[in-house]
Structure 1
Amino acid sequence: MNESSSSARPHLPLARAAAGVLLGLTQGFGLYLVSNNLSGIQGSLGATAAEASWLSTAYFASALWATLLVTKVRLHFGLRVFAMASLWLFLVVCALHLAADSLGSALAVRAALGLAAAPLSTLAIYYLMEALPQRLAPVALLLGFACLQVPGPLSRVISPELLELGRWHGLFVLDVALALLSLAAIHAVPLTPQPRQPAFNRGDLLAFPLYAVGLGLLCVVISQGRLAWWTDAPWLGQCLAASIVFMSLYALVDLNRVNPLVDLRWLASPYMVRFIIAVLLFRVVLSEQTVGVVGLMTVLGQSNEQMRGLFGFVSVGLLAGFLLAIVIAAKRGASPLAVLAGLMVLAAALMDSDATAVSRPEQFYASQTLLAVGLGLFFSASLLMGFGPVLQEGSRHLVTFLAAFSGAQVLGSLLGSAWVATAVAERQTWHYAALAQHLPIGDPQVALRIAQLGGSVARVVGDPAARALQGLSLLQQQVTRESFVLAYNDVFLSTAVLAAAMALWLAVLAWRGRRAAAPAAVAPAAASS
């Protein structure tokens, strides 16, 4: 940041920090307000649950490759043009949401928003990095990504009022308001101009469509497989095959270019392979919160209204995780953060694995807050450990790293959701069969229970035979609910096992890294003596 301009305008760092926070929240709410409220908006669009799920798929299918595109656009056309164009595009797309009243139009707008929202994360980080001194650049980086993550749980806290305000359109009143405020902020608080550099060449005209279509089809397969079911829908296999073909063609093109779209050879280095695997796996285990606990609470009849307190604690825990990461990284470095995060997820998953049919959000306050702190720690660790090698090499791999990091985050989230939903479906079927075989109709205790349940509707059902059928139906509902609870407990235990394995692996990597760094630290000291 320019020292003279700072002294002339002492309020400028604070204004830039506020603008960065605002931009991060704008991008985050644009994603999470819809993805966390699909059940609440499907009625507004006249869609089934499976059809409404395409709203999230459309967003992620475009957002998955948008980071690469917008990073190149920023480098090629300059920061100010990039900032103004991206905010206007985001504002227009948010406004179009207010006019979307059918599933088809909503899908088109959500896909456009996935592209329009991608630049806001870059702008948020730039503003926060300029708000702080250069020596605090890692702190600014972590705060920027914290602003992008907090709207996830926070959207569940504020969405009930927005849905009451205007159902589907009510969610986007906030988006439009935030977009207008963001547009005013970048007009009032400009960023320091950055040097431009050529970022596009003619080979990108072939490579980029192959890259975008391949990733988009992969996103469709992962997000829709658990709903259409993996082996029951032939079109899923066709999409997967097409994705493999497109990505193979893209790799064939890019590996033979002097200036590739993404440096695949650098991504294939051992360090980056380990980094990407770690990000993918950790995003999978963190689905215990976004899909596991939320799914369990939904089965038990809890809505966002009842879960507001839970996700209020989660929001606080997430912020605490990022702040704790800054303190630990300053004293111990980034490597202990990932191990500590894995241990926190392990503890949280074990705490959740004894849920019952009478569990309510209050029973998950401690575990999910702990899990949120773990998310903040791991996200911080992945950023610090990933950006380190990039900055050491002069940022020539910055575009590749951002594309890989954002892609691993999105794909990891989708894979986690798919894994949890698939595992719950399979385990629920198994538990239901196991419970049902121990409840024969001829058993006197079972017959007594059916009679008791039937008696609960005696005031409205006078026919004894009809009451018996109602009692049997209520018993089946109880068995189904219990089987779902047991299935989610199995998934939580599986998450704990995976988290334990990850914590052990990350601890071994951290230990090896310290051993490798020790001789390098001793050599300069010996030379100076």
Structure 2
Amino acid sequence: MSGSAPLTGPAAPAPVVHPPLPVPRALAYMGASVMLALSQGLGQGFVSANIPQIAGDLGITAAQASWLMAAYMIPRASLPLLLIKIRTQFGLRRFAEVGIVAYVAVAFASVWISDFRSAVVVQALSGAAAAPLSTLAFMYMLEPLSQSWKMRLGLPAAMAVMMAGPTLARVVSPALIGDGGLTWMHLTALGMAMVSLMLVFRLPLRPVPHMKVIQALDFASFLLIGFGFAGLTIGFVMGPIHHWTDAPWIGALLAASAAALAIAVAVELNRAAPLLDIRWLVSPAMLHLTATLFLFRLILSEQAAGAPRMFQALGVAPAQMTGLFAVIVGASLLGGLAWMRPDRVPALHLAALLLIALGAFMDAHATVDTRPEQMIVSQALIGFAGMLFLPPAMMAGLVSALARGPQYLLSFVIVFISTQSLGGVLGSGLFATLIDHRQAAHYAALTEQLAATDAPTAQTIAGHVAALAAQIPDATARRAQAAAQIAQDASAQATVMAYNDAYLLTALIALAAALALVLHLLRDRLALRMAPAPEPDTTP
């Protein structure tokens, strides 16, 4: 971008090339990356996967417990704004040591949670402490690898483990919770945090040059953007729970968030050394990448907010879903470990979109009798496709950012983290809203068909009444119970039909995105063929 100011004031130091590490030590660094990634991933997954159990343990409603997820996600989305500058100014080793110590302290505090207020505070601190852990997981995976293998192996491996963490939490949570509440879950998180602490101090990251890059106005921009991200997170977590219009404060909060982000953009555009290079972020290439990442995260909400919640609504216990989530974890790791080259990115994206469309279309045929083992293939396809897409997308963005200079790395990192954190929250909120609306519509249609004067309905009620004769002596009570059972069956059927609608919509969106990608590739190929041939060099 011609004429743009550097992002961080002074020129960024030249990259430091370290000699390769011995193989055993290199494996130790990669093992530390896996432990760091699993620590932060499981910490997030333990909350999202166990909202009902947390609500019961704290004596609060499920709606109140959802505030814990919002409190965790707010700093995860906004704190990376400052982390790279903090790391650059104060040094890599100090950043790593302070970050992991803070994470252990918060994990220790979570063991002693006893009420709702303390739980919200600890979850907000957990999200803040987990943000540096994501960065450290990437650093430790990339540290021992050569420059070419950092992109081909390090980046997808670190991302695969990080993205698999929340799903892995659903695999191990039932065994940890058991009959003893949430204590073992918190102790497991604390134990992993302490192992991570040992690894960070035992395997220090090699130093890189650091310099003063933080400016006073960075904090003002951070507060504005942080408030905007926080408002969006709270709005899309709590909006579906309160049916959006039942809580007027949600609309006011979203409006205030939009205003804060607009002011932040105005501030950044008029700074000589902005926290974010807005002009570069709104360039056609970056807008295309941002829209792609955001759309894909919305599509992947089918897996995060689809099957688990549908089975929960059908009364399937978490322990019965561990096999399904274990397969999803394995498929995700397999997809993330596919070696890549930049010229493969469009093909990988197209394959991922087609696999998601196939998996979602298979899910769209669910019934009230569908159980987790019947969705193993479809969910494995979606999990594999998700990790087939994200590492190439991140690699393409990193290559584009580094081509313009190391100082552009921060802007890209913010784009990536924001689209993934906010995209996940917004996607889950929109998915839940769609389910609520479709479920109400299907239930209304079913209840119209189940009029008491209808002959098939009367026969069904009579069958239920006869089945309850041995349990309920009173005839009126038996008939009321039979009618209630039919209404409950209709509600379950309406819920499954609503999820089928959402799955089918996901498949159609994925197919539309795949078609758009094919047209884009054809346009590029046609433009390349129609471009005039270069004139021959006649220089003597």
**Percentage identity across paired residues of the two chains:** 35
What is the DSSP-based 3-state SS (H/G/I as helix, E as strand, rest coil) of the residue aligned with 1:396? helix
Indicate yes or no: 2:159 matched with 1:126. no
**Residue 509 of structure 1, CA deviation:** 3.1
Distance in 1 (CA, whole Å) between partners of 2:423 and 2:524 is 25
Match of 1:273 among 279, 287, 292: 287
Distance in 2 (CA, whole Å) between partners of 1:196 and 1:128 is 21
Match of 2:375 among 357, 364, 368: 364
Check the 8 A contact 1:125/1:144 in 2, yes or no: yes
Check the 8 A contact 2:359/2:379 in 1, yes or no: yes
The aligned counterpart of 1:73 is 86
**Residue 405 of structure 1, CA deviation:** 0.7
CA, structure 1 residues 421+525, in 2 after alignment: closer, same or farther (shift >3 Å)? farther
The aligned counterpart of 1:493 is 504
The aligned counterpart of 1:446 is 457
**Residue 222 of structure 1, CA deviation:** 1.4
CA, structure 1 residues 128+429, in 2 after alignment: closer, same or farther (shift >3 Å)? same
Which one-letter code corresponds to 1:411 in the other structure? L
**Residue 197 of structure 1, CA deviation:** 2.4
**Residue 448 of structure 1, CA deviation:** 1.8
Distance in 1 (CA, whole Å) between partners of 2:271 and 2:94 is 29
Check the 8 A contact 1:142/1:383 in 2, yes or no: no
Check the 8 A contact 1:59/1:114 in 2, yes or no: yes
Q: Deviations over 1:99-134 (max 9, x none)?
A: 111111100111111111011111111111112222
Indicate yes or no: 2:435 matched with 1:424. yes
Q: Deviations over 1:36-62 (max 9, x none)?
A: 111122100111111011111011112
CA, structure 1 residues 389+528, in 2 after alignment: closer, same or farther (shift >3 Å)? farther
State which drifts further: 21-30 or 167-176: 167-176
The aligned counterpart of 1:336 is 347
- Is the helix fraction higher in 1 or 2? 1
The aligned counterpart of 2:246 is 232
What is the DSSP-based 3-state SS (H/G/I as helix, E as strand, rest coil) of the residue aligned with 2:472? coil
Match of 1:219 among 230, 233, 239: 233
The aligned counterpart of 2:44 is 31
Residue correspondence of structure 1 range 41-190 to structure 2 within 5 A: 41-138=54-151, 139-164=153-178, 166-190=180-204
**Residue 524 of structure 1, CA deviation:** 11
Match of 1:298 among 312, 321, 345: 312
Distance in 2 (CA, whole Å) between partners of 1:257 and 1:519 is 42
Distance in 2 (CA, whole Å) between partners of 1:143 and 1:528 is 49
Indicate yes or no: 2:263 matched with 1:249. yes
Distance in 1 (CA, whole Å) between partners of 2:108 and 2:371 is 37
State which drifts further: 33-42 or 313-322: 33-42
**Residue 412 of structure 1, CA deviation:** 1.1
Match of 1:413 among 402, 424, 439: 424
The aligned counterpart of 2:410 is 399
CA, structure 1 residues 64+270, in 2 after alignment: closer, same or farther (shift >3 Å)? same
CA, structure 1 residues 3+407, in 2 after alignment: closer, same or farther (shift >3 Å)? closer
Which one-letter code corresponds to 1:93 in the other structure? V
Distance in 1 (CA, whole Å) between partners of 2:109 and 2:539 is 65
**Residue 214 of structure 1, CA deviation:** 1.6
Q: Deviations over 1:65-122 (max 9, x none)?
A: 1111212211111100000000000000111111111111100111111111011111
Check the 8 A contact 1:34/1:171 in 2, yes or no: no
TM-score by length of 2: 0.93
State which drifts further: 303-312 or 442-451: 442-451
CA, structure 1 residues 447+4, in 2 after alignment: closer, same or farther (shift >3 Å)? closer
Check the 8 A contact 1:276/1:405 in 2, yes or no: yes
**Residue 522 of structure 1, CA deviation:** 8.2
Residue correspondence of structure 1 range 499-518 to structure 2 within 5 A: 499-513=510-524
Distance in 2 (CA, whole Å) between partners of 1:346 and 1:522 is 40
Which one-letter code corresponds to 1:410 in the other structure? S
Which one-letter code corresponds to 1:123 in the other structure? L
**Residue 514 of structure 1, CA deviation:** 5.2
Which one-letter code corresponds to 2:37 in the other structure? G
Check the 8 A contact 1:335/1:385 in 2, yes or no: no
CA, structure 1 residues 126+520, in 2 after alignment: closer, same or farther (shift >3 Å)? farther
**Residue 12 of structure 1, CA deviation:** 1.3
What is the DSSP-based 3-state SS (H/G/I as helix, E as strand, rest coil) of the residue aligned with 1:167? coil
Match of 1:390 among 394, 401, 407: 401
Which one-letter code corresponds to 1:280 in the other structure? F
**Residue 253 of structure 1, CA deviation:** 1.3
The aligned counterpart of 2:210 is 196
Check the 8 A contact 2:91/2:208 in 1, yes or no: yes
Check the 8 A contact 1:16/1:127 in 2, yes or no: yes
**Residue 443 of structure 1, CA deviation:** 2.2
Which one-letter code corresponds to 1:409 in the other structure? Q
CA, structure 1 residues 387+513, in 2 after alignment: closer, same or farther (shift >3 Å)? farther
Distance in 2 (CA, whole Å) between partners of 1:520 and 1:171 is 61
TM-score by length of 1: 0.95
Match of 2:474 among 453, 456, 463: 463
Structure 2 unaligned blocks of 5 or more: 1-15
Q: CA RMSD in A?
A: 2.2
CA, structure 1 residues 270+480, in 2 after alignment: closer, same or farther (shift >3 Å)? same
The aligned counterpart of 2:11 is none
**Residue 360 of structure 1, CA deviation:** 0.4
Check the 8 A contact 1:222/1:418 in 2, yes or no: yes
Which one-letter code corresponds to 1:398 in the other structure? L
